[in-house]
Amino acid sequence: MVVSIKMIGIGDEGKESLLPMYEKWIYESDVLIGGKRQLSFFSEFQGEKIVIESGLSTLVERLQSETRNVVILASGDPLFYGIGSYLSTKIDLEIYPYLSSVQLAFAKMRERWQDAYFTSVHGRSMKGLAQRIDGKEKVAILTDTENSPNKIAQYLLSFGMTEYQAFVGENLGSEQERCRWFSLDGMKDAEFSPLNVVILKKTGENPKWSTGIDDEEFYQRKPDKGLITKKEIRTLSISALRLKEDSIVWDIGTCTGSIAIEAAKIAREGQVFAIEKNDGDLENCKQNLAKFRVDATIVHGKAPEGLDTFPNPDAVFIGGTAGGMEEILDICCSCLKEGGRIVLNAVTIENLSEAMAAFKQRSYHTNITLAQISRSKPILNLTRFDALNPIYIIEAWRQEGELRC
């Protein structure tokens, strides 16, 4: 039976960051665990040292059968994007945090931080960062050697986020501490210590778009403009998807990317995956993603090819099937998470009939909305209405607990 497991946060200055009581616990322990940098502060430690190098599952197994006193060293606050969040769910331990790097950075900026948005690209992809932070007044980002301040600057500039100024704190709390302000252009080419934190502060206005972006705002295929899910249909379809902040969304036949973009604005903390077979539409989609600050995963191909590379979705929008409805629905129905929605737009009664039969065969419940939209148009000093093509919006779902098809 384990006598004691303590996790102690430590700063870049090493022992000087510790309370005397914490240092006493360390030297009284039988096993000292931590990263190479943390362990190097205690070269005279007489017990067993274990270096944390990769996955934590092996460490958990060892700690669950350990019978000696253990101290685990962690950087800053172990519960702020640290190993404490994971280990505390697996083993019984006491946690004694130090100041987090973000807390130290805001202190150096002399800025309050309770209203900041926090995220991390340390050991994880930067994918989706654009829509997560767009419009936030203050953003704190934990970095690593791969996702450095330089890479963050390049990434943000690719989405035109020039309204942000960046504060970079390096080696915070140590003798090598350095804090500097940058424009994104300046941060792109500067050199930094591997140990840093980036704070973004909005100093200018950012473009804003509400749900139901005007069709004219999107790059579209020329000369035959109009191959886009129209604003009114788009709004109804997005509503039918019942998106949440962390939803994983598939957009099949994305064309201009209008559905993917509107979905990403809602599912900011989720992920959006889209597929498009037409080269010209794909290029327009990429331009629209950059304009509207959405970082979605776009695949060039004809569905269902490529869908098996996407993670299981909470919501699927099908704007076009190009004759492959059965195969597409096979994958969508089998991969859709419990409680999820599939929304399919059909223009013809033949496609409507095929879709309804396919959903019924797969034991899905359906609801159909026939949207017949007309828009006002001036004629001399009068007003008339132009009708858009009628669209069948099919919402399909499986009741919770029902077996998958």
Q: How far is CA 272 from CA 200, 313, 393, in A?
A: 24, 9, 20
- The verdict on 256 and 385 lying in the same domain is yes
Q: How many independent structural domains does the chain possess?
A: 3
pLDDT per residue as tens, the chain (405 positions): 457 899 999 998 899 999 999 999 999 999 999 999 999 999 999 999 999 987 788 899 989 988 999 999 999 999 999 899 999 999 999 999 999 999 999 999 999 999 999 999 999 999 999 999 999 999 999 999 999 999 999 999 999 999 999 999 999 988 899 999 999 999 999 999 999 999 999 999 999 999 999 999 999 987 665 678 999 999 999 999 999 999 999 999 999 999 999 999 999 999 999 999 999 999 999 999 999 999 999 999 999 999 999 999 999 999 977 778 899 999 999 999 999 999 999 999 999 999 999 999 999 999 999 999 999 999 999 999 999 999 999 999 987 665 554
Decide if 208 is inside a domain: no
Q: Using the 3D structure, point to which of 154, 175, 202 is the last residue of a domain.
A: 202
- The verdict on 174 and 28 lying in the same domain is no
- The verdict on 13 and 52 lying in the same domain is yes
User: What is residue 276's predicted lDDT score, i.e. its pLDDT?
Assistant: 94
Give the CATH number, domain containing residue 52: 3.40.1010.10
Q: Which residues contact 42 (CB under 8 A, 6 or more apart)?
A: 15, 26, 27, 32
What's the CA gap between 162 and 140, in Å, rounded? 17
- The verdict on 9 and 48 lying in the same domain is yes
What's the CA gap between 106 and 223, in Å, rounded? 52
- Compute CA 277 distance to the chain's CA centroid, rounded to the nearest angstrom: 25
Q: Using the 3D structure, point to which of 176, 202, 228 is the last residue of a domain.
A: 202
Other C-beta atoms closer than 10 Å to the C-beta of 400 total 7
- Compute CA 97 distance to the chain's CA centroid, rounded to the nearest angstrom: 27
Give the CATH number, domain containing residue 153: 3.30.950.10
Decide if 405 is inside a domain: no
- The verdict on 123 and 254 lying in the same domain is no
- The verdict on 325 and 196 lying in the same domain is no
The pair of structure tokens assigned to 33 is 């665990």
User: What is residue 226's predicted lDDT score, i.e. its pLDDT?
Assistant: 60
How wide is the angle at C-alpha 339 spanned by C-alphas 337 and 341, nearest 5°?
80
Decide if 404 is inside a domain: no
Domain of 361 in residue numbering reads as 215-397
User: What is residue 173's predicted lDDT score, i.e. its pLDDT?
Assistant: 87
- The verdict on 95 and 110 lying in the same domain is no
Q: What length is written for the chain?
A: 405
Decide if 229 is inside a domain: yes
Of 367, 327, 324, 371, the residue nearest 347 (C-alpha): 371
Q: Using the 3D structure, point to which of 153, 175, 202 is the last residue of a domain.
A: 202
The pair of structure tokens assigned to 357 is 């039969």
Sheet (strand 178-183) strand order: 117-120, 138-142, 196-202, 164-170, 178-183
The pair of structure tokens assigned to 198 is 């980036």
Decide if 402 is inside a domain: no
Is residue 319 within 8 Å of 229, Cβ to Cβ?
yes
Give the CATH number, domain containing residue 242: 3.40.50.150
Decide if 320 is inside a domain: yes
- The verdict on 146 and 82 lying in the same domain is no
Decide if 270 is inside a domain: yes
- The verdict on 109 and 34 lying in the same domain is no
Decide if 393 is inside a domain: yes
- The verdict on 35 and 175 lying in the same domain is no
What's the CA gap between 3 and 1, in Å, rounded? 6
What's the CA gap between 398 and 47, in Å, rounded? 57
What's the CA gap between 60 and 90, in Å, rounded? 7
User: What is residue 115's predicted lDDT score, i.e. its pLDDT?
Assistant: 96
Q: Is 79 exposed, middle or buried (0-12, 13-18, 19+ CB in 10 A)?
A: middle
- The verdict on 188 and 247 lying in the same domain is no
What's the CA gap between 380 and 219, in Å, rounded? 29
- The verdict on 198 and 253 lying in the same domain is no
- One-letter amino acid identity for 33? I
